[in-house]
Amino acid sequence: MTRPPVRHRIITASLLTVAALYFLVPVYWLAVSATKNSADLFGTFGFWFSAHPHPVEYLTAVLTYDHGIYARWFANSLFYAGTGAVCATLLSAAAGYALAKFPFRGREAVFNVVLAGVLIPGTALALPLYFLFSAMGLANTYGAVLLPSMVSPFGVYLCRIYAAAAVPDSLLEAARIDGAGEARIFGGLGLRLMTPALVTVFLFQFVHIWNNYFLPLVMLSDSDLYPVQLGLTSWTGYADRQPVLYQYTVGGALLSVVPLMVLMTVLQRYWRTGLTEGSVKA
């Protein structure tokens, strides 16, 4: 295999370095700022520690402020993102598997509708969903955020193209000849062979739900139901009257990225496999 010219490698390494700095510098600033009190947050250099950093004390104050409301928001985000991502992954797997392995009239039309769903931004659907859920009596409940999060058109798309390539028809026929039912074949063979794609769908959906701000903003009015992103924004709104909330918002933002970093670290091997194989198999 011929190695690329040195000039191309230098350009590639430079671009990757710039991209890495673009994403890592804000995290570094967040980690440094979380060690400062409100006065040092605005009165010292932003990219270095203050004279008296107390990260544990300040992060503890974030968790205990207002009877531990941040911990409740954090638990709400874990519930929304965890439950929504698991349900979306299973529904996407079932829909993608069915579209890939069961020919029926209108299958391509259904798949094209799913592809169209990928192109519609979530913000365009938030207001119609609010009116729908309000009419059903579900506005300002956990279900108002959780139910829309269980749908992932991109997950259906990825599972369909992955199932078409990774689940052999001959293996399914052999299982049917042995007497296995369709549900058992899907659960015992389909899901196992589609594991890299399922991990990819779960990770994408978890991050999407965790960072979703607009849908909870439209759906929720009770602060006890807020996810972390919406709760931190509400703190920012009161920070002019209570400057300590600037410090708590920075500390809360740092804690909120921890689950995403852990997930990326643990699942990146499966995620890369599912994404690359799904992108080339059709």
The pLDDT, as a whole number, for residue 277 is 56
The model's confidence at residue 274, banded by pLDDT at 50, 70 and 90, is low
The pLDDT, as a whole number, for residue 272 is 59
The pLDDT, as a whole number, for residue 268 is 75
Per-residue pLDDT reduced to its tens digit, 4-56: 788 888 999 999 999 999 999 999 999 999 998 888 888 888 888 888 888 88
The pLDDT, as a whole number, for residue 271 is 63
What is the C-alpha separation between 69 and 249, in angstroms, rounded?
A: 12
Chain mean pLDDT for the chain: 89
Q: Say if residue 282's pLDDT is above 50.
A: no
List C-alpha distances in Å: 5 to 2, 11, 18, 129, 158: 9, 10, 20, 53, 35
The pLDDT, as a whole number, for residue 243 is 87
List C-alpha distances in Å: 219 to 95, 132, 206, 214, 237: 27, 11, 19, 9, 19
What totals of helices (H) and strands (E) does the chain contain, helices first?
16, 0
Q: What average pLDDT does range 73-81 have in this prediction?
A: 96
Per-residue pLDDT reduced to its tens digit, 85-123: 999 999 999 999 999 999 999 999 999 998 888 888 888
Per-residue pLDDT reduced to its tens digit, 209-248: 999 999 999 999 999 999 999 999 999 988 888 889 999 9
Q: What average pLDDT does range 245-254 have in this prediction?
A: 92
Cα-to-chain-centroid distance, residue 7: 37
Per-residue pLDDT reduced to its tens digit, 183-207: 999 998 899 899 888 998 999 999 9
Q: Are 141 and 76 in contact (CB under 8 A)?
A: no
The pLDDT, as a whole number, for residue 276 is 53
